[in-house]
A and B are shown apart, each in its own frame.
Chain A
């Protein structure tokens, strides 16, 4: 048996799960780039000129869109650009729809919605999530004349393989990323222990109290659902506080020696990595209040709970980046080249 098939065989026995392929959703600012812009003469309109991206058709969504439109209209009348009135929450509602804070009556997440969150960073409506899962199932039909090999003790993985069927992606995407960020000096087992402590502290902590000033990811389940699902708790915290863009500085691009700030959208893993590194930085600055091996896990859990409750300093960092990005939004997609002055 070749080395490759042994790897696939090992993966198969480790975890039997069906993962949806990462849905090919474009990041936020790509959709902005594709022509759906607010223009000053659209101030009074409730709908964008072109058809909207698919949104959950609920009364509350249309009500929120109406509220957003009213806010932008008010801002336009006041003399500023319509986008000035759009805070974070309004932008979220515009592009994702739904409520910022979930009601207790709203159900929790289905397994398909959870998988979609872990792999794509957004919580789709349950119908869409089921469709994504169904699309990822390998078709059972085999070409004619294909003879199944029956001599394998453990079944071989079935073709066609999903798009990200790689041995480097065999673990949970969120947990794997965060454990490796915690790891120091290559001590993975120690990092895994810290992660396990973090999970157990989240499980034994009371349900968080959502803050209306710091809305979490749209589609977030009610707070009482989080403690017993610590991976979901962690993912909601990190995905909510993750920055959507980074500022790329083009040296000398703004003229007069100043750098041109170009907002660039971040992909899912990068967003999560930035957010988690901010969280780790905040944790490293906390003073030690206990003793023993579980201190780091406790501090990390406290910070995650603080993020979900809106008490963390990480929200300020995110706000700063988004502010800069909004201020420099005119440079989005700019392909400016700075001419190098010839010496002499």
Chain B
């Protein structure tokens, strides 16, 4: 029978049939009369390989590099301490008389803002001895609206707009400061695109059409943040409903107990939903829900549903909570504020959002209301409807007086070595695009011409 082995034996003899005499290669040439010296071995010249000098350095552990890059430093011991500046009080920012002045941030509020991730690593808090805030006239308007919202028990729906580096995120921080100092419950989403760029886990909610998704890990982290930032208030408020069916909280307790009952990410969303319902019952303190990066939650997210279609951001439950509060669908019976910030460098263009905000601004200013472009695609009704009941506050440019106050503070801290006179103030104001705060900082503090 023909087998593989038989073919092999024809082509290649695997077994040597007879020992063969292998000729020893002689070091003597043919027809030569030299006596062969068989003891001479062929010397092999050892060519040493060049060894690459490997310097063993200890590499940083995973996560250390990012932590170093994103670290928030709020004090610089080499900077000078600025004397004579008052500290912020609960009602400071709402008083018209305090416009154009600099106030120090109290340290307990500073810690709570740090927990809420209100400070960004791209801001220049790390250059100064202690964080100070300039109370601009837009911030006075914002604080007065917050004060009115708490007094009238109405929700303020606000969108902060403005050009790049105009100070929108710092204004949001100042709103959060007002909330924390006036015993509001403050919830902050530091970056909208964290929710929609697909970097965090998501899981579907059953029996929903169109299918909705929760983000358990993000929500778990958010619950911890809410607890740590609002600990004192949470520990005082008692639960008014029974949540034993949907959460781990059995029986009576405080809101703090409810949050802490979520031990795993799996329980995070039901616990957050319970917490949200509790906070929107009457008899609670005013609620502030802020979000930075509105454009990111008004577009298609990077997630896909089981049919591999892209999921719109509004189908994510956390985003849906914010959007429902912003549109007024969820009422805040105790008053409060839902504040979103637009812009930033990395913000996609959302036609409906731009349209509704421009219409609102025009309406507020008494100008002609712009109409949608009939030849443009991409308008979405749900984005339009979510924002149509809000107010717009534009962060504009600083006046020269505000610029002078700010630069005097920088000079007193020892970071601006130039003489702070009219010429210098006007020069930096002009270099900063006629008073854009962030650009002024870039021209004065983040430059090599000191």
Which residues from chain A sit less than 8 Å from chain B, CB to CB? 172, 175, 179, 192, 195-196, 199-200, 203-207, 227-231, 287, 289-292, 294
Q: Residues of B contacting A195 with CB < 8 Å? A: 448
Among A200, A207, A289, A292: residue with most chain B CB under 10 A: A200
Q: Decide: A291 near B450, CB < 8 A? Known: A203-B415, A206-B78, A228-B78.
A: no
Q: Decide: A292 near B69, CB < 8 A? Known: A205-B78, A228-B414.
A: yes
A114 nearest CB across to chain B (Å): 10
| Bound: A266/B79 CA distance, A | 37
| CB closest residue in chain A, given B121 | A292
Residue B310 lies at the interface, judged by CB distance under 8 Å to chain A: no
Q: Residues of A contacting B59 with CB < 8 Å? A: 287
Q: Residues of A contacting B126 with CB < 8 Å? A: 204
Residue B57 lies at the interface, judged by CB distance under 8 Å to chain A: yes
Q: Are A196 and B78 in contact (CB under 8 A)?
A: no
Q: Residues of B contacting A172 with CB < 8 Å? A: 449
| Bound: A215/B449 CA distance, A | 28
Among B57, B414, B415, B449: residue with most chain A CB under 10 A: B449
Q: Decide: A231 near B68, CB < 8 A? Known: A204-B73, A204-B127, A287-B57.
A: no
| Bound: A294/B124 CA distance, A | 14
Task: Supply 16 A–B pairs (Cβ within 8 Å), ascending by A.
Answer: A172-B449, A192-B448, A196-B448, A200-B445, A200-B446, A203-B78, A204-B78, A204-B126, A205-B78, A207-B78, A227-B78, A228-B78, A228-B79, A228-B417, A290-B69, A291-B65
Q: Residues of B contacting A206 with CB < 8 Å? A: 77-78
Q: Are B450 and A230 in contact (CB under 8 A)?
A: yes
A181 nearest CB across to chain B (Å): 13
Interface residues of B in 122-158 (CB under 8 A from A): 126-127
Q: Residues of A contacting B60 with CB < 8 Å? A: 289-290
Residue B170 lies at the interface, judged by CB distance under 8 Å to chain A: no
Q: What's the interface size class on B, roughly?
A: 20 to 34
| Bound: A192/B446 CA distance, A | 10
Taken residue by residue from 420 to 448, chain B's Cβ proximity to chain A (1 for < 8 Å, 0 otherwise) reads as 00000000000000000000000001111
Q: Chain A contact residues: over half helix, strand or loop, or mixed?
A: loop
Q: Are B450 and A231 in contact (CB under 8 A)?
A: yes
| Bound: A199/B66 CA distance, A | 22
| Bound: A230/B78 CA distance, A | 11
| Bound: A290/B67 CA distance, A | 9
A27 nearest CB across to chain B (Å): 29
| Bound: A200/B128 CA distance, A | 11
Q: Residues of B contacting A289 with CB < 8 Å? A: 60, 65, 68
Q: Residues of A contacting B66 with CB < 8 Å? A: 291
Q: Chain B contact residues: over half helix, strand or loop, or mixed?
A: loop
13 extra A-B contacts, CB within 8 A, seeds A204-B126, A290-B69:
A179-B448, A199-B450, A200-B127, A200-B445, A204-B79, A228-B80, A228-B417, A229-B417, A289-B68, A290-B65, A290-B68, A292-B69, A294-B69
| Bound: A290/B78 CA distance, A | 23
A68 nearest CB across to chain B (Å): 36
| CB closest residue in chain A, given B126 | A204
| CB closest residue in chain A, given B415 | A203
Give the contacting residue for A203; candidates B68, B127, B447, B449; CB below 8 A: B127
B68 nearest CB across to chain A (Å): 5
B62 nearest CB across to chain A (Å): 12
Residue B107 lies at the interface, judged by CB distance under 8 Å to chain A: no
Residue B389 lies at the interface, judged by CB distance under 8 Å to chain A: no
Q: Are B448 and A228 in contact (CB under 8 A)?
A: no
Q: Residues of A contacting B65 with CB < 8 Å? A: 289-291
| Bound: A331/B449 CA distance, A | 43
Interface residues of B in 387-430 (CB under 8 A from A): 414-415, 417
| CB closest residue in chain A, given B80 | A228
Q: Residues of A contacting B55 with CB < 8 Å? A: 287
Q: Decide: A175 near B415, CB < 8 A? Known: A200-B127, A203-B76, A228-B80.
A: no
Taken residue by residue from 257 to 291, chain B's Cβ proximity to chain A (1 for < 8 Å, 0 otherwise) reads as 00000000000000000000000000000000000
Among A227, A228, A229: residue with most chain B CB under 10 A: A228
| CB closest residue in chain A, given B442 | A196
| Bound: A200/B442 CA distance, A | 12
| Bound: A292/B121 CA distance, A | 12
Q: Residues of B contacting A205 with CB < 8 Å? A: 78
B366 nearest CB across to chain A (Å): 41
| Bound: A228/B59 CA distance, A | 32
Interface residues of B in 39-89 (CB under 8 A from A): 55, 57, 59-60, 65-66, 68-69, 73, 76-80
Q: Residues of A contacting B77 with CB < 8 Å? A: 206
| Bound: A179/B449 CA distance, A | 11
Q: Are B69 and A196 in contact (CB under 8 A)?
A: no
| Bound: A228/B76 CA distance, A | 11
| Bound: A229/B417 CA distance, A | 8
Give the contacting residue for B447; candidates A196, A291, A292; CB below 8 A: A196
| Bound: A203/B127 CA distance, A | 7
Q: Residues of A contacting B417 with CB < 8 Å? A: 228-229
B449 nearest CB across to chain A (Å): 7
| Bound: A290/B80 CA distance, A | 28
| CB closest residue in chain A, given B75 | A204
| Bound: A292/B71 CA distance, A | 12
A324 nearest CB across to chain B (Å): 25
7 pairs of A and B residues whose beta carbons are closest in the complex: A227-B78, A195-B448, A291-B65, A287-B57, A228-B414, A196-B448, A292-B69
Q: Residues of A contacting B76 with CB < 8 Å? A: 203-204
| Bound: A141/B78 CA distance, A | 46
| Bound: A227/B450 CA distance, A | 13
B101 nearest CB across to chain A (Å): 25
| Bound: A199/B447 CA distance, A | 8
| Bound: A99/B417 CA distance, A | 28
| Bound: A287/B65 CA distance, A | 13
Q: Residues of B contacting A200 with CB < 8 Å? A: 127, 445-446
| CB closest residue in chain A, given B58 | A287
Give the contacting residue for A291; candidates B69, B414, B446; CB below 8 A: B69
Q: Residues of B contacting A227 with CB < 8 Å? A: 78
Q: Residues of A contacting B447 with CB < 8 Å? A: 196
Q: Residues of B contacting A199 with CB < 8 Å? A: 448, 450
| Bound: A195/B80 CA distance, A | 22
Q: Residues of B contacting A290 with CB < 8 Å? A: 60, 65, 68-69
| Bound: A206/B68 CA distance, A | 18
Q: Residues of A contacting B445 with CB < 8 Å? A: 200
Q: Are A175 and B449 in contact (CB under 8 A)?
A: yes
| Bound: A200/B79 CA distance, A | 11
| CB closest residue in chain A, given B78 | A227
| CB closest residue in chain B, given A178 | B448
